[in-house]
Amino acid sequence: MGHTSNLIYQAKVGDTPNFYDDCTASVSRYCDRYGYAHHVQTEPKLKISPLASQRSANANRLGFLPIYEKEVAFGKFDQFDKILILDADIYVRDSAPDIFAQSDTDFAGVVEREMPLTAAYFDKIRKYSEGQYRRLDDVDWRWNANGAEFFNMGVMLIDKGIVKYLNGETPEQFIRRPEFERFVNGEGHWRWSTDQTLLNWWVKKSGMTVKHLDWRWNALYGGVRDVMQAY
């Protein structure tokens, strides 16, 4: 039985390495197995560029920031009940179970510090946490010895319940919110940020329901000790 109310959305825009094709093909096989819709966006639609950029020339080389293209998926809830947004560099094993059965919350993802990381990577995320999240003190990051509680946004499982936090906005209007401008512009340590900081702050600030997925749904290659156990 197919689950056509579920979509897996990926954006592969701009100059991408060849291995991305193998990764998106693995996702396509996964969707075929479970009956999910799959869409790989290959052309820019939002073309989000900083209004007052503090980013590097390389970050702005295309005239827009490709990382925000995957938020096009936020506009698909008129067609789908649940959407999994996956970065295009994620490979899904043929044995992976059904991720859509894992959560009924507004948002679900893997918290980076909850992964079985190497000592070197734990050190990295402690420093990353300080640079990205310490200044955002209007929400509770549940700081501990391993840094802030933030989701790795390479895997985002979102339910249509999230629509109420989009306030009727299009994906472009959402990213263009005045409170997000500092992230898009790349102010301070956010010069090197992707959409991850913006989205984590929004998830916390909104008060939406969340679930911490098992780390095996989003194992960082080179950062996780037990990567062969991942899905």
Tens digits of residue pLDDT in 94-150: 999 999 999 999 999 999 999 999 999 999 999 999 999 999 999 999 999 999 999
Q: Is residue 69 assigned to a domain?
A: yes
3-class secondary-structure state, position 82: strand
Whole-structure pTM value: 0.94
Q: What is the model's pLDDT at position 219? A: 86
Confidence of residue 59 (pLDDT cuts 50, 70, 90): confident
Residue 165 lies inside a defined structural domain of this protein: yes
The Cα 63–Cα 141 span in angstroms is 33
Task: Kindly state the average pLDDT of the residues 58-70.
Answer: 91
pLDDT of residue 215: 93
Domain of 43? 6-109+151-229
Q: What is the pLDDT of residue 226?
A: 72
Give how many domains the chain has, as a whole number.
1
Q: What is the CATH number of the domain that holds 56?
A: 3.90.550.10
Mean pLDDT over each residue of the chain, to the nearest integer = 94
**34: in domain:** yes
- The answer to the question of residue 196 being in a domain is yes
Question: 142 lies in a domain?
Answer: no
Q: Which helix (H) or strand (E) holds 37?
A: strand 37-41
Instruction: Decide if 120 is inside a domain.
Output: no
Q: Tell me the longest C-alpha to C-alpha distance in the chain.
A: 49
CA–CA separation, 89 vs 190, rounded Å?
22
In a domain, 100, yes or no: yes
Q: Distance (Å, rounded) from C-alpha 136 to C-alpha 141?
A: 9
In a domain, 193, yes or no: yes
- Say if CB 114 and CB 223 are below 8 A apart: no
